[in-house]
Structure 1
Amino acid sequence: MRTFKHLAFVLCASIGVSGFAQKMPAIKQTSFKKDTVSIVKFGAVSDGIFLNTKSINDAINQVNANGGGVVKIPRGFWLTGPIVLKSNVNLYLETDAFLQFTNDFNQYKIIETNWEGLGAFRNESPIYAKNQTNIAITGGGVIDGWGDAWRYVKKSKLTESQWKNKIASGGVLSDDKKSWFPSEKFAVGAKTKNAGVIADGATYEKALAYKDFLRPNLIVLEKCSQILLEGVTFQNSAAWNVHPLMSDNIVIRKLKIKNPWYAQNGDGLDLESCSSVLIEDTYFDVGDDAICIKSGRNEEGRKRGMPTQNVLVRNCVVYQAHGGFVVGSEMSGGARNIHVENCTFIGTDIGIRFKTTRGRGGIVENITLNNINMKDIPGEAILFDMYYEAVDPVPQNGEKRQPPKVEYKAVDETTPQFRNISINNVVVSGAHKGIFLRGVPEMSVKNIKMENITIQAEQGIDCQEAENISFKNVNIFATSKDAPVYILNSKNISFNGLNYNKTPLLMDIQGGRSKNVTINKADTKNADKTFEAAYGADSKVITIK
């Protein structure tokens, strides 16, 4: 068995738009003794029936007590309950090892933990570690959370035949008959406001009444340091899949992270309040956001005050997901110094997704994305939205949504911010909308640079409540009859090199707070009319060079 040591790296890149350079600190490496024990030595049985919880945990505990080493899960089908990782232990799955977590909910205790950025009671995660150092899960096997037993399913996300089969499998229907719940306890939780959230009055005793509703994340690594996840497949999680929480010095490499597309809260990777992280060569195909940056929600997240920072993401591929690379919406502790490069998003609802809402607070800044490919994006290719609501990013057939109510509010600690973000070298083949930036009246999306962008989409660029936005060498080929560029109450918007389809109107500018829009090196002859200024916008707002 080899010793697992991984290259520390330093990211020396210009991050953000201010011209400053940030050096990423070297990641502390994992290192394990070669001593290896098999779970078979502790009585584990590979038949998919025998519950191996004690055998696996006994093996981990002994290796930890002996100073560390490798716990081997051989090829075979291993059924188990929750596993607790310990310091200096590498849980190694041989190729063709299948680790199946049980669908017996009674095997999972209710514990006090964290859910979507808030302190909460939940069922313990199938794999969990807290306050541990130098831990790993490696190899070539599969880890399955049996998520279908836990999750509710919306009727709108299944075919008629699938829906009938789901009902026939047991469980109960919601009152409106539009959702399937796995049990009566789950239905109770679905009707309980903020079920499990401690700040809203949840207790252990109350949580017992709706235990099945409190779906666990597949793997939670809380307040740990020196983490390696490499080579394995994490799939079929009850809620989020991989969740490092308040941890540091993390390497995530060559994973496959999978969930059904209809999996509610079926995120791939949620990196929450973590620092010094490398994510590379990893494949995602999930039911919610894929690569997601978080740092706590609202007052609790601000009080925690732990931004996710110093992160490098590279060479990843995302298939089905709500978003390919995502920041938010629980980003109240902030996010900064993050670099994403050489990634491909195929069929994700949104490609690059920054989302937040009033009440979150937090500053998201100094983020770069470079060399990103996208294909067949049903929603926006690039999105900044400060009016996030917890709904699917793409409306279902026949679903009607009202635009948010626009009103000015005072700036305070609850006001979120997106600023100093650079997106370069992006190619998009097929999207509903190319670029959408939407701040709130009191806090614009600020200081965004986009350079060398080529997008084929139905609609082009939409800037609302944005400030200091620079577009350089941007090609927008939109099929809609609307103007390819729409600007509302935004200022200091510059286009230097803009190509577009022949169109009756190039730029539609609206709102009395729109100011200083400049166009340079654009073939304005390709538009019958260069711009229109309306609804309070002055015709002097635009300068054409």
Structure 2
Amino acid sequence: MRRSVTLLEVLLVLASFDEALWVIGDSSHCKQNSREIRPHSVTITEFGAVGDGITLNTKAFQNAIFYLQSFADKGGAQLFVPAGRWLTGSFDLISHLTLFLDKDAVIIGSTDSSDWPIVDPLPSYGRGRELPGGRHRSLIYGRNLTDVIITGDNGTVDGQGNVWWNWFRSETLNYTRPHLIELMNSTEVVISNLTFLNSPFWTIHPVYCSQVIVQNVTILAPLDSPNTDGIDPDSSDDVCIEDCYISTGDDLISIKSGWDEYGISYARPSSNIIIHRLAGETSSSGIAIGSEMSGGISEVSAEDLQFFNSNIGIRIKTTPGRGGYVRNIYISNVTMTDVKIAIRFTGQYGEHPDESYDPSALPIIDKITIKDVTGENIRQAGLLEGIEGDNFLNICLSNINFNVTSKSPWNCSYIMGYSNLVFPETCDPLREGIFPEHSSACYHLSNHLQRPSGQNRFTWLVPR
């Protein structure tokens, strides 16, 4: 069984992909404008923490953050984590806080499950994602917060997920595995300039959040590690992800919004999500939407993506019973190498939280534009499967060129749309041309993430 990723392996991976450093670009779509330096700062060692990788420091983190709470209305505060290996269980963040990791600092998750307390299931899921009932709280956790920054000089957070993966495979868990970072019902969140290793489950999970930036992060886990998604915006809006390298055992980025009847009832969509300059490999999908999308997902722009050695490049996942919608999606400027299926839509994904879902709650999939995509050594260009009686509509493919090894490059059912300049030639339901008569049916996002005044949605980052 494969072991966890080590820091040495991180350095080797990053060195081997020096040519992929194009993802660290000068042009930012979610610029992290400089805030004023927090007027109050403490170091974790002031609260008795020991960075030997052996001493459990949960109380030190909790006490430090409790102390800093008194500065929340005085300009906020910073908790500095210096060089060392800081073993800890789950701890909570507070508003107006910066958690800053030195370049040689490693926060290490405890391998004792009792150090990860049980919390209630998300209301939009109705139960733990893996098991009925509650779920283990994430290593770094927060709820109902404003103005939270988790950053550093490329310090590291290591979840030591191998023990959790083993428990999952042996079916000895009583509750759903924890994330590495989860923030709930929070606004003005920045996660940047850090490396995240070996998450027990999904790595970064903003849920019911607004105004979130994830920028310049590296996320690594073994390709055979179960469900170690990279970044999962979930029932969240105004999210910007850019300049990230991710190599994990599940989707690099997966946009979600609740599960079947619980997501429909909670009715919190994911919308206005920008993704730029993402590179990585995965045993699953590079960018995925769903399968939990019952609250709706719309206005997504993903550009400048590079996927290699992966199972699927671009994927939409749903099923009867989900309800909700996926619409107004724009994905462009994508390069794929050694990918089994470049584009996959799945309308019969299955997986329901319980037997109470309504099988007649059919999802709406409409206005999906994928353009300017190239691929080398692609086994199959597209496997696009809608739902009988519930066609996926206005699927638009433009300027796509794949070097495909399969004799049947496209397989399509229950979809309708248009195409332009696609090679190999796409399937019959998409062969009608886009221009000029169908261009209005094909979604282009360039002007849709602007406020009416033209002001960028991420101006909340400007210092007050």
Q: Tell me the TM-score normalised to structure 1 length.
A: 0.68
Distance in structure 1 (CA, Å) of the matches to 2:126 and 2:36: 33
Q: Distance in 1 between matches of 2:35 and 2:414?
A: 45
Residue 388 of structure 1 is matched in structure 2 by: 349
Corresponding position: 1:473 with 2:421 = yes
In 2, are the aligned partners of 1:244 and 1:272 still within 8 Å (CA)? yes
Residue 39 (structure 1) aligned to one of 35, 38, 44:
44
Flag the 1:337–1:326 CA change in 2: closer, same or farther, 3 A: same
Q: Tell me the equivalent position of 1:511.
A: none
Quote the residue 1:430 is aligned against. 377
Tell me if 1:96 matches 2:104.
yes
Per the alignment, residue 72 of structure 1 pairs with 80
**Counterpart pick for 1:336 among 278, 293, 298:** 298
Shift of 1:35: 2.3
CA distance, structure 2, for counterparts of residue 234 and residue 354 of structure 1 = 26
Q: Which residue of structure 2 aligns with residue 370 of structure 1?
A: 332
Code of the residue aligned with 2:395 in structure 1: it is I
Is 1:130–2:143 an aligned residue pair? yes
Whether the 8 Å CA contact 1:371–1:424 is kept in 2: the answer is: yes
In structure 2, the partner of 1:81 is 89
2:40·2:71 contact (CA, 8 Å) conserved in 1? no
Per-residue CA distance 1:29-48 (angstroms, 9 max, x = gap):
97662422100111111111
Give the conservation status (yes or no) of the 8 Å contact 1:365–1:418.
yes
Q: Which residue of 1 aligns with 2:191?
A: 229
Aligned CA distance change for structure 1 residues 46 and 496 (closer, same or farther; 3 Å): closer
Structure 1: gaps (5+ residues): 1-6, 12-25, 153-170, 172-178, 190-209, 391-409, 477-483, 498-545
**Following TM superposition, by how much is the alpha carbon of 1:116 offset from its aligned partner in structure 2, in angstroms?**
8.7
Aligned 8 A contact 1:92 1:138 in 2 = yes
**Once the two structures are superposed, what CA deviation does each residue of 1:226-253 show, in whole Å capped at 9, x if it has no partner?**
0000011111111111100000100100
The answer as to 2:158 corresponding to 1:144 is: yes
In 2: Cα distance, 1:435 partner to 1:30 partner: 45
Question: Whole-Å Cα distance in 2 between the matches of residues 32 and 135 of structure 1?
Answer: 13
Whether 2:323 is the aligned partner of 1:309: answer no
Is the contact made by 1:28 and 1:249 (CA closer than 8 Å) also made in structure 2? no
Report the equivalent of 1:354. 316
Give the Cα–Cα distance (whole angstroms) in 2 for the partners of residues 259 and 495 of structure 1.
42
Q: Any idea what SS the aligned residue of 2:310 has? A: coil
1:111 aligns with 2:119: yes
TM-superposed deviation, 1:115: 9.1
Structure 2-normalised TM-score?
A: 0.80
SS in 1 for 2:432: strand
Q: CA RMSD in A?
A: 2.5
- The aligned runs of 1:283-322 (5 Å cut-off) are 283-322=245-284
Q: Deviations over 1:219-274 (max 9, x none)?
A: 11011110000011111111111100000100100001111111111111111000
Check conservation: 2:364, 2:392, Cα contact below 8 A: yes
Q: What secondary structure sits across from 1:463 in the alignment?
A: strand
Q: In structure 1, what is the Cα distance between the partners aligned to 2:140 and 2:280?
A: 24
Q: Contact 1:260–1:286 (CA<8 Å) still a contact in 2?
A: yes
**Partners of 2:244 and 2:29 in 1: how far apart?**
20
Aligned pairs for 1:241-260 within 5 A = 241-260=203-222
Ranked by relative contact order (alpha carbons within 8 Å, sequence separation 6 or more), the top structure is 2
- Give matches, 1:143-542, under 5 Å: 143-152=157-166, 180-181=169-170, 186-187=171-172, 189=173, 210=174, 213-378=175-340, 380-389=341-350, 412=360, 414-457=361-404, 458=406, 459-467=408-416, 469-476=417-424, 485-487=426-428, 490=429, 493-495=431-433
The question of whether the paired residues in 1 share the 8 Å contact of 2:124 and 2:262 is answered with: no
Q: Contact 2:124–2:266 (CA<8 Å) still a contact in 1?
A: no
Counterparts of 2:218 and 2:253 in 1: how far apart (Å)? 12
- CA distance in structure 1 between the partners assigned to 2:193 and 2:346 by the alignment: 34
Report the secondary structure of 2:189's partner residue: strand
Quote how far apart the aligned CAs of 1:322 are.
0.5
Which amino acid in structure 2 is aligned with residue 494 of structure 1?
A: E
**1:119, distance to aligned residue in structure 2 (A):** 3.4
Gaps of 5+ in 2: 1-25, 129-133, 352-357, 436-464
Secondary structure at 1:65 match in 2 = helix
- Give the letter for the 2:292 counterpart: E
- 8 Å CA contact 2:226–2:249 kept in 1: the answer is yes
Deviation at 1:431, TM superposition (A): 1.8
Partner SS, residue 230 of structure 1: strand
Distance across 1 between alignment mates of 2:164 and 2:29: 41
How far does the alpha carbon of each residue in 1:319-343 deviate from its partner, in whole angstroms, 9 at most, with x for none? Answer: 1241001000000001001100111
> Shift of the alpha carbon at 1:143?
0.3
AA aligned to 1:449 is: C
Q: Whole-Å Cα distance in 1 between the matches of residues 54 and 364 of structure 2?
A: 51
* Closer/same/farther in 2, CA of residues 114 and 103 from structure 1, 3 Å limit: same
Aligned to 2:19: none
- Percent of residue pairs identical: 31
Distance 1:125 1:148 in 2: 15
* 2: CA distance, partners of 1:232 / 1:221: 17
